[in-house]
A and B are shown apart, each in its own frame.
Chain A
Amino acid sequence: MIFILLPFVEMFYASLRPLDHLFRSPYQFYSDDLSFWAYREMWNTVPMLPRYIFNSFFLASVTSIITLLFVIPAAYSYARFKFPFKNSSLYILLAINMFSGAVLLIPLYKVLRTFGLLNTYQAMIVPGVAFLIPTAIWLLKSYFEKIPIDLEEAAFVDGASRVQILRHIIAPLSTPGLVVVGIYAFIGSYAQQFLFAITFNQKKEYMPIPSGLYEFIGYTTVKWNEMMAASLVGIAPVLIIFLFLQKYIVAGLTSGAVKN
């Protein structure tokens, strides 16, 4: 527990201390003038900080919405239909999860460059979506499978069209599942931004917060207290969302691996 939490505690503690207290060697455990000063000052040191935070949110939201658009029909199809190559294609999806971005970066970089898409939002969104699709399909599939098929079949026999079934049965019943998968995609894309940002983007305007934080590293000194403050601000949204929904997310992720 200490091992897991110490970095966070120390990050928070450092963010409260004045810089000259941090720059004492050996490390001082006690500071008598703790304050939230760094949380105010950081906006002046890195004036683009609000923009980075916005970028992170924007990138993560767009990425997860696009992911959902692709994943909903696919997951529904996997949950409800029987068709050739169903299982093998599901396993291929699992295998894709194992390839890290680093292997695919070279051709993606070249393509983005030829289309002039380097240093744009798209450059960070397009590959992001691809890496979220496989897990999202598996997750959402298991949610759809929990909706009793009898309901749909009964409606179908009674003459309801597929669109009607989708609107009146599937959509309302699967909302919780969609929320969880959407949040999984959001947290996932928030986390993976760094790799795509340092590779495909050099423009400050489009930088997400993980790479923006490096601006606290100056030519002569590193403003550690402000950097830690800004890091915590960058972590806060994902952490809060996660704390509220951790039960559902963990249940969804583990059910696949443990039971299958």
Chain B
Amino acid sequence: MNQKLKSYTAQTYIAYALIAPAAIYIILIVAWPLLETIRLSFTNSSLAGEDYVGLENYQKMFSSKKFNGIVTRTFVWMFFSVSLKLIIGLIGAVLLNANLKGRSIFRVLVMPPWVVPIAIGMLGWLWLYNGYFGIIAGVGMRTGILDGPFGFLAYKQSAFISTIIADVWVGTPMVTVFFLAAMQGVPRDLYEAAYCDGASRWDRFFKITLPQITPVIITMSLLSAIWTFNSFEIIWILTEGGPRGSTTTLIIDTYKQALGNYKFGRGAARAVVVMILLMLFAGFYLALLARINKKISHE
């Protein structure tokens, strides 16, 4: 390689200059607010002004039963939502990967909930869940499962389940598409060899497909856990965290404190908890990614 050519990709200052605008933007709009949130969490900031109050926000928050309930609820909500997304996503991907007629159409048809603005999709769900006139209550009443109108979002347990179902509806398509992409990446000859050895469909799935796509399953469960944890609009539109707080997750609680009541300080303390949890997730995810990359480059 001649000298001139070498310099073509090694001019660090040009590289940095090209990245600088995006980097500065991110620092201003993402990094600085993160630090500012941490600072605000030690104050009683509100629309009226702010004073330094030390750990008061945190002490109040952690000693309140309500907050501990919210944290538990967030994880239960997440657990059900993520597991359903993964299970349905896996089944969906297997079906879409099979040699069925019209699968290319189905592959496109699974995607709308993913692309459609969540806020608009949720209006559809509001109508479906309507206790008097909605189709779900209607089917229930006609089949005799329900003995009268039933507002799915009006009762604690049913609201909790209903928000999970809506969240699964939004999140499953993406999981399916990623699983499908992974399955298509499994080398054909593995299947052919197994087929020659007389392996059954089940064997082929459990002994070839599943182990081959495990890295993707793990990354997707982490990513999906992060997104589910962050899920705001779905719950906000369907229930605003109600009835009586039964669907209030950490994100909803943070938003309510900060921008519903304008208690910036208290909200910021919650946001810091959210941040720490997210950083744990992100750390896990990146460590995993680095490991998988290493493995690939070794092979």
Contacts and interface: CB of A to CB of B under 8 A. Distances in A.
A70 B22 CA distance: 5
A194 B138 CA distance: 30
A48 interface: no
Contacts of A34: none
B12 A83 contact: yes
Interface string B201-233: 000000000000000100110010010001011
Given A27-B135, A153-B5, A234-B120, A133 B26 contact: yes
Contact residues of B: prevailing secondary structure: helix
Interface in A108-143: 108-111, 126-127, 129-130, 133-134, 137
B274 A102 contact: yes
Interface string A146-185: 0001001100110000100000000000000000000000
Given A26-B142, A239-B116, A127 B29 contact: yes
Nearest to A128: B29
Contact of B149 (A1, A25, A126): A25
A211 B282 CA distance: 31
A224 interface: yes
Contact of A25 (B15, B115, B133): B133
Interface residues of A, number: 93
B216 A257 contact: yes
Nearest to A137: B22
A258 B30 contact: no
Interface in A70-93: 70-71, 73-74, 76-78, 80-84, 89, 91, 93
Contact of B110 (A1, A156, A210): A1
B40 interface: yes
Given A100-B230, A126-B29, A156 B182 contact: no
Given A7-B125, A227-B123, A195 B25 contact: no
A29 B40 CA distance: 54
Nearest to B32: A107
A56 to B, nearest CB: 9
Contacts of A14: 127
16 contacts: A10-B128, A14-B127, A29-B138, A74-B23, A77-B18, A83-B15, A99-B30, A99-B34, A149-B9, A194-B233, A195-B233, A211-B119, A255-B181, A258-B178, A258-B182, A258-B216
Interface of A: 1, 3-8, 10-11, 14, 22-29, 69-71, 73-74, 76-78, 80-84, 89, 91, 93-96, 98-111, 126-127, 129-130, 133-134, 137, 149, 152-153, 156-157, 162, 187, 190-191, 193-195, 199, 209-211, 213, 224, 227-228, 231, 234-235, 238-239, 242-243, 246, 250, 254-255, 257-260
Given A109-B264, A130-B25, 9 more contacts: A4-B110, A6-B128, A27-B141, A106-B268, A107-B37, A227-B127, A238-B115, A250-B181, A257-B216
Closest 4 CB pairs of A and B: A27-B138, A100-B230, A81-B15, A210-B119
